[in-house]
Homo-oligomer: A and B are copies of this chain.
Amino acid sequence: MRIELVSIGDELLIGQTVNTNASWMGAEFSLRGGNVVYTTVIQDTEKAIIDAVNYAFSRVDVIILTGGLGPTKDDITKYTLCKYFNTELEINTDVLEHVKSFFTARGRGMLEVNTQQAALPKAASILKNEVGTASGMWFERDGKVLISLPGVPYEMKHLMNRWVFDRLADQFSMTAIYHQTLQIQGLGESFLAERIKDIEDEIRASDISLAYLPSPGQLRLRITSEANRENEQKIEQFMAQIENRLPRYVYGRAKDRLNEVVGKLLLDKKATVGTIESCTGGALASEIVAVPGSSAYFEGSFVTYSYDLKSSLAGVKMEDIQKFGAVSEEVVIQMALGGQKTLGVDYCLAASGIAGPGGGTLEKPVGTVWIAIATPNKVIAQKFLFGEHRERNIRKTVLTALNLLRCELLEIR
């Protein structure tokens, strides 16, 4: 099954919106054995849509259009597809009921434009949208399929999961690719390559491919092959080899997120955590809290941005702030211990650094960050030198601190 994703919208072409829909669908199809061979972005004009659909029908089996189904006047996909498939709109009473109840549940009145969301092409089979008001539409022509979905990511995902994947799997055969990913924190691309050189040579000698995918503060290592039992076993062996060699750095696989990994460890230990943050400004706490159910182990946090609050709330001695500076081993250790006590937690993470762009000195340049962790039986601190970019420094601090916590929970030395 060859698939083309066609995203409609000037906002994508001029970069006001990032095409996350294409990447989500690419990921899902790759796991399910669908083959996305092309992704295009087009303008939201009738001509652009019709040209793109014609061209795509000439080279793939399945076209998935996203975008242009909203209630406002700039949304023309539905009208254009009526023309293309030579059909007309009719009110779908099921959908109309759903749209009405959708507004009622949110305590909002319904507008005339919202009623129009229930007018749908006769020739299409309708994919009911339970999380929004724009229905999906499934057209067929000469054994090929065109699916039109709303561009709002969670509505598109809902429709794909609820209807599209299953119907496509019924209608087409899929040949699968197998891939596995290791999630790595605290080791840069070339340093990882050096540490696993022998394993990498073996992987490549087995006709299996390997890719390094860096992003700020973390790195994914992806191993890919055609899906068959032999390859899957080999890949599993390579993964285990790398995990065993680098336990401080490899924190998970595929879609594991570091905050979820840490959350599970805390749950297992029935331990609680809190944070005392300076340069990260709450980003570390919010990363922990982003996990559903985190209230079982996360107690709370202080963001002590000012010297006064570092002293009054985190219990850091003002004379030490003045003597060593707020970004220092002495201060970050006192923050971690003070937070552990005041928040009443088993583990307390503390971070103090110079995120930038201002505030750097020769001795402590922008990117200097001290991270400490107080555990039930000790406190340790480490210094890092990240870089010049504020947002990335904050992100790297968050991930580094979480990985420190992970290593402490697992007693990895």
Contacts and interface: CB of A to CB of B under 8 A. Distances in A.
Given A193-B71, A289-B283, A385 B107 contact: yes
B26 A13 contact: yes
A218 interface: no
A197 to B, nearest CB: 10
B303 A212 contact: no
Given A222-B11, A303-B289, A358-B292, A190 B72 contact: yes
A193 B292 contact: no
Nearest to A181: B16
A204 B76 CA distance: 14
A159 interface: no
Q: Which of A23, A24, A113, A344 has the most CB of B within 10 A?
A: A23
Given A30-B14, A106-B385, A190-B72, A295 B305 contact: yes
Given A113-B190, A193-B72, A390 B292 contact: yes
A290 B299 contact: no
A143 interface: no
A42 B24 CA distance: 16
Contacts of A385: 106-107
A349 B199 CA distance: 52
A17 B213 contact: yes
A70 interface: yes
Given A18-B18, A73-B200, A282 B309 contact: no
A332 interface: no
Contacts of A290: 281, 390-391, 394
A277 interface: yes
B305 A303 contact: no
Interface stretch (A32-40, A120-128, A228-236): A32-40
Interface in A1-54: 9-20, 22-28, 30, 36, 38-41, 44
Contact of A15 (B22, B44, B220, B304): B22
A388 B292 CA distance: 12
Contact of A306 (B9, B19, B70, B299): B299
B277 A282 contact: yes
A285 interface: yes
Interface in A169-218: 177, 179, 181, 188-191, 193-194, 200, 204, 209-215
A308 B19 contact: no
A13 B36 contact: yes
* Chain copies in the assembled complex: 2
A98 to B, nearest CB: 16
Contact of A189 (B70, B220, B357): B70
A210 B74 contact: yes
A71 B192 CA distance: 11
A281 B294 contact: yes
A340 interface: no
A225 interface: no
A42 to B, nearest CB: 10
A301 interface: yes
A295 B284 CA distance: 17
Contacts of A188: 108
Interface in A388-408: 388-392, 394
A412 interface: no
Nearest to A304: B300
Interface in A287-322: 288-290, 292-295, 298-306, 308-309, 313
10 contacts: A12-B26, A14-B36, A16-B23, A18-B19, A74-B211, A154-B392, A281-B286, A283-B283, A286-B394, A300-B303
Interface of A: 9-20, 22-28, 30, 36, 38-41, 44, 70-74, 106-108, 111, 113-114, 131, 152, 154, 177, 179, 181, 188-191, 193-194, 200, 204, 209-215, 220, 222, 224, 275, 277, 280-286, 288-290, 292-295, 298-306, 308-309, 313, 342-344, 356-358, 385, 388-392, 394
